[in-house]
Amino acid sequence: MLLQRQLSMVANMQERVSVSIESNIARVTLTRPDKFNALDQLAFDQFSAAAKSIAANRSVRVVILSAQGEHFCAGADKAFLQGAVSDKAVFSERALQTLTGESCNEFQYPAMAWMEMRAPVIAVLNGITYGAGCQIALAADFRIASPSLRLSLFEINWGLIPDMGVTQSLLRLVPLDVAKELVMTGRELNASQAKELALVTKVDDNPQKAADELAASLLQRSPDAIGNAKKLLDTCVDLNRSDALRLEAVLQADLVGSKNQLEAAMANLQKRQPNFE
């Protein structure tokens, strides 16, 4: 019901983001191809609303992020960006205000929401993926790219730094010196270069099909195990050895004997498709 209300609100506004849910997969699509899917305030708001609604929907087991047209996202809309930073005091107030119940501000949430979501998130990338678009992509669990991909942390070209959770995404994927080079130069990477640096999971001529196949594979696994696996691997990056080992034990104890764990085991033994709750 919450998702329906959110989508109804979106439908009554100029659409920047569409959301559909079918067969436990939520598809979130940027719908501004004439502007290379650049994010203005409305797009930020709708993207955030979509993330909140999906996070609250326990039926969603995989999320696929994509975009209409030839480009995933050119970053923040120029007019929006100029307006947002035109008043230093106003921007500082917004940037330093943490959202209620979250660890991030309103600008960081559209990226961080996917990283913090229990369900795995797959980003389908093509063409220009700059700035904010790049940071949203990096926050996904998997990135499947078209050979047309052009990836850049573009903010340095505006005299800015990436500020949509890049410290939580980029630094988990590449060594510190590589991260510094990408942030400080804004260097554009093609698909093969991005794959070489492990910034994309896979390059495929049909990235949407590849994403659908990965989603289908994930749906064959226990959603409880998938959720705990994501939490374990994301959290342990920041933990010392003893705390990381403790978290492994806690999350495993949570799974052992649960309905979905037993169903996964029985389906495997009986060589049949599982039926998860």
* Of 51, 37, 146, 157, nearest in space to 106 by CA: 51
pLDDT in tens, 206-235: 999 999 999 999 999 999 999 999 999 999
Domain identity same for 39 and 120: yes
pTM over 0.85: yes
User: Is pLDDT of 105 > 70?
Assistant: yes
User: Is pLDDT of 9 > 70?
Assistant: no
Domain identity same for 192 and 242: no
pLDDT in tens, 148-194: 999 999 999 988 999 999 999 998 999 999 999 999 999 999 999 99
Alpha helices in the chain (DSSP H): 2-11, 41-55, 78-84, 88-95, 109-116, 131-138, 166-173, 176-185, 191-196, 207-219, 223-236, 241-255, 259-270
SS3 29: strand
* 192 domain-assigned: yes
- Residue labelled with tokens 């993330």: 51
Assign 10 a pLDDT band (cuts: 50, 70, 90). very low
The pLDDT score that the predictor gives to residue 13 is: 59
The pLDDT score that the predictor gives to residue 80 is: 87
Domain identity same for 100 and 13: yes
* 10 domain-assigned: yes
For a pLDDT cut of 70, what percent of the chain falls above it?
95
* 166 domain-assigned: yes
The pLDDT score that the predictor gives to residue 11 is: 45
Domain identity same for 241 and 212: no
With DSSP H G I counted as helix, E B as strand and the rest as coil, what are the percentages for the chain, rounded to 5? Answer: 50, 15, 35
The pLDDT score that the predictor gives to residue 83 is: 85
Which of 203, 219, 235 marks a domain boundary? Answer: 219
Instruction: Indicate the angle between helix axes 166-173 and 109-116, nearest 10 degrees.
Output: 50
* 275 domain-assigned: no
Distance CA 153, CA 133 (A): 9
- Label the pairing between strands 17-22 and 62-67: unpaired
CA distances from 133 to 54, 108, 128, 137, 139 (A): 19, 12, 9, 6, 10
Domain with 6, as residue range(s), is: 2-219
- For residue 209, the tally of other CB atoms under 10 A from its CB is 12
The domain that contains 199 carries what CATH number? 3.90.226.10
Domain identity same for 105 and 240: no
* Of 90, 34, 64, nearest in space to 43 by CA: 34
CA distances from 156 to 70, 152, 159, 181 (A): 24, 10, 5, 11
Instruction: Enter the DSSP assignment of 156.
Output: G
Domain identity same for 24 and 43: yes
Structure tokens that stand for 143 in this block: 């990135």
Domain identity same for 54 and 147: yes
* 277 domain-assigned: no
Average pLDDT of the residues in 226-248: 89
Domain identity same for 148 and 65: yes
Domain identity same for 212 and 231: no
- Label the pairing between strands 189-190 and 150-152: antiparallel
CB 38 within 8 A of CB 74: yes
Domain identity same for 215 and 250: no
Domain identity same for 175 and 232: no
CB 215 within 8 A of CB 25: yes
**What total of structural domains would you count in the chain?**
2
Distance CA 146, CA 134 (A): 14
Domain identity same for 16 and 104: yes
The domain that contains 239 carries what CATH number? 1.10.12.10
